Structure 1
Amino acid sequence: MTKHMSHYVNRDLSWIEFNRRVLSEAQDPTTPLLERAKFLAIVSSNLDEFMSVRVAGLQSQMKAGYTKIDFTGYTPAGLWKRLIKRTTQMVSEQYRTYREVLRGIAKEGIVFRSMEELNLTQTAAMERYFHDIVFPVLTPMAVDQSRPFPLVHTKELYLSVLLRKENESVDEEPYFAIVQVPSILPRHVALPVRSGSKRSEFILLEDLIEKHIGTLFKGYTTFAVHPFRITRNADLALNEEGAEDLLEEIEKEIRRRRWGMTVRLEVDKGMHPYALDMLKDELEVGDNVIEIDGPLDLSFLMRFCSSLPNYDNLRFERIDPVYPREFDDDDDMFQVVRERDVLVYHPYESFEAVTDFLVQAAYDPEVLAIKMTLYRVSGQSELVQALAKAAESGKQVTVVVELKARFDEERNIAWARQLEKAGCHVVYGLIGLKTHAKILLVVRREQDGLRRYVHVGTGNYNDNTAKLYTDVGLFTSHPVIGEDASALFNEMTGYSAPYEWRAFGVAPTSLKEKLYALIDREKEHALAGRPSHIIAKMNSLSNQEMIDKLYEASQAGVKIELIVRGVCCLRPGVPGRSENIRVISIVDRFLEHSRLMVFSNGGEEEVYLSSADWMTRNLNRRIELMCPVFDDRLRSMIKNMLYLNLQDNVKAHELLSTGAYGRVTNDLLPMRSQFEAKQIAMWKTYE
Structure 2
Amino acid sequence: MTSAKNYINRDLSWLEFNRRVLEEAEDPGTPLLERFQFLSIVQSNLDEFMSVRVAGLQAQSRAGYTKTDFTGYTPQGLIKRLMKRTTRMVREQYRSYRELIRILGKEGVMLSTFRDLNEEQKTLMTKYFQQIIYPVLTPMAVDQSRPFPLLHSKGLYLAVVLQQDDLRNDSDSRSFCAIVQVPTILTRTVLVPGRKGSRKFTYLLLEDLIKEHIGLLFSGYTVEAVHAFRVTRNSDLTLNEEGSEDLLQEIEKELRRRRRGLPVRLEVEKGIHPHAMELLQDELEMEDVVFDEIDGPLDLAFLSKFVSMLPNYDHLRYSKVDPIYPDEFEEAEDMLSVLREKDVLVYHPYESFEVVNDFILEAAADVDVLAIKMTLYRVSVNSVLVQALASAAESGKQVTVVVEIKARFDEARNIAWARQLEKAGCHVVYGLVGLKTHAKITLVVRREADTLRRYVHVGTGNYNENTAKLYTDVGLFTSHPDIGADATALFNEMTGYSTPHQWSSFAVAPIGLKPKLFELIDREIEHAIAGRPAKIIAKMNSLSNQSMIDKLYEASQAGVKIDLIVRGVCCLRPGVIGLSDNIRVISIVDRFLEHARILAVGGGGEEELFISSADWMTRNLSRRVELMCPVKDPGPRQMLMNLLQMNLQDNVKARELQSSGSYVRVTSPHAPLRSQFEAADIPLWKSIASAIE
User: Same fold, TM exceeding 0.5?
Assistant: yes
Confirm or deny: 8 A CA contact 1:521 1:601 kept in the other structure.
Answer: no
Alpha-carbon distance in 1 for matches of 2:685, 2:580: 37
In the alignment, is residue 22 of structure 1 matched against residue 21 of structure 2?
yes
- Could you report, residue by residue, the CA deviation over 1:147-170 in whole angstroms, capped at 9, with x for unpaired residues? 000000000000000000114236
Alpha-carbon distance in 1 for matches of 2:357, 2:683: 18
Alpha-carbon distance in 1 for matches of 2:294, 2:80: 19
Cα distance, 1:119 vs. partner? 1.1
- Could you report, residue by residue, the CA deviation over 1:254-287 in whole angstroms, capped at 9, with x for unpaired residues? 0000110000000001111111111011012335
Alpha-carbon distance in 1 for matches of 2:38, 2:500: 45
In the alignment, is residue 199 of structure 1 matched against residue 171 of structure 2?
no
In the alignment, is residue 38 of structure 1 matched against residue 40 of structure 2?
no
Confirm or deny: 8 A CA contact 2:642 2:685 kept in the other structure.
Answer: no
Which of 382, 402, 406 is the aligned partner of 1:400?
A: 402
Cα distance, 1:448 vs. partner? 4.5
Secondary structure, counterpart of 2:525 in structure 1? helix
Q: Give the AA of the match of 2:23.
A: S
1:103-502 alignment runs, 5 A limit:
103-169=102-168, 172-286=173-287, 287-502=289-504
Alpha-carbon distance in 2 for matches of 1:641, 1:346: 12
Cα distance, 1:686 vs. partner? 2.6
Secondary structure, counterpart of 1:6 in structure 2? helix
- Could you report, residue by residue, the CA deviation over 1:468-489 in whole angstroms, capped at 9, with x for unpaired residues? 0000000000000000000000
Secondary structure, counterpart of 2:100 in structure 1? helix
Alpha-carbon distance in 2 for matches of 1:429, 1:32: 42
Secondary structure, counterpart of 1:224 in structure 2? strand
Alpha-carbon distance in 2 for matches of 1:528, 1:680: 38
| Segment drifting more, 323-332 vs 227-236 | 323-332
Secondary structure, counterpart of 2:679 in structure 1? helix
- Could you report, residue by residue, the CA deviation over 1:204-252 in whole angstroms, capped at 9, with x for unpaired residues? 0000000000010000000110000000000000000111111111000
Cα distance, 1:492 vs. partner? 0.2
Secondary structure, counterpart of 1:584 in structure 2? strand
Secondary structure, counterpart of 1:339 in structure 2? coil
Alpha-carbon distance in 2 for matches of 1:536, 1:92: 35
Confirm or deny: 8 A CA contact 1:525 1:601 kept in the other structure.
Answer: no
Confirm or deny: 8 A CA contact 1:554 1:560 kept in the other structure.
Answer: yes
Confirm or deny: 8 A CA contact 1:571 1:659 kept in the other structure.
Answer: yes
What stretches of structure 2 of length at least 5 have no aligned partner?
Answer: none
| Segment drifting more, 112-121 vs 587-596 | 112-121
- Could you report, residue by residue, the CA deviation over 1:378-423 in whole angstroms, capped at 9, with x for unpaired residues? 0100000000000000000000000011001110111110000000
Q: Please report the TM-score for the alignment, with normalisation by the length of structure 2.
A: 0.98
What RMSD, in angstroms, separates the aligned Cα atoms of the two structures? 1.2
- Could you report, residue by residue, the CA deviation over 1:533-581 in whole angstroms, capped at 9, with x for unpaired residues? 0000000000000000000000000000000000000000000000000
Cα distance, 1:200 vs. partner? 1.2
Secondary structure, counterpart of 1:575 in structure 2? coil
Alpha-carbon distance in 2 for matches of 1:406, 1:683: 34
Secondary structure, counterpart of 2:609 in structure 1? strand
Alpha-carbon distance in 2 for matches of 1:553, 1:682: 32
Alpha-carbon distance in 1 for matches of 2:451, 2:415: 37
Alpha-carbon distance in 2 for matches of 1:275, 1:624: 48
1:446-595 alignment runs, 5 A limit:
446-595=448-597
- Could you report, residue by residue, the CA deviation over 1:412-449 in whole angstroms, capped at 9, with x for unpaired residues? 11111000000000001110000000000000001241
Cα distance, 1:666 vs. partner? 2.0
Confirm or deny: 8 A CA contact 1:637 1:680 kept in the other structure.
Answer: no
Alpha-carbon distance in 1 for matches of 2:217, 2:507: 61
Alpha-carbon distance in 2 for matches of 1:285, 1:366: 63
Q: Give the AA of the match of 1:143.
A: V
Confirm or deny: 8 A CA contact 1:322 1:682 kept in the other structure.
Answer: no
Confirm or deny: 8 A CA contact 2:444 2:454 kept in the other structure.
Answer: yes
Q: Please report the TM-score for the alignment, with normalisation by the length of structure 1.
A: 0.99
Deviation >4 Å, runs of 4+ = none
Q: Give the AA of the match of 1:169.
A: R
In the alignment, is residue 604 of structure 1 matched against residue 603 of structure 2?
no
Counting matched residue pairs gives: 686
Alpha-carbon distance in 2 for matches of 1:683, 1:490: 36
Alpha-carbon distance in 1 for matches of 2:261, 2:452: 51
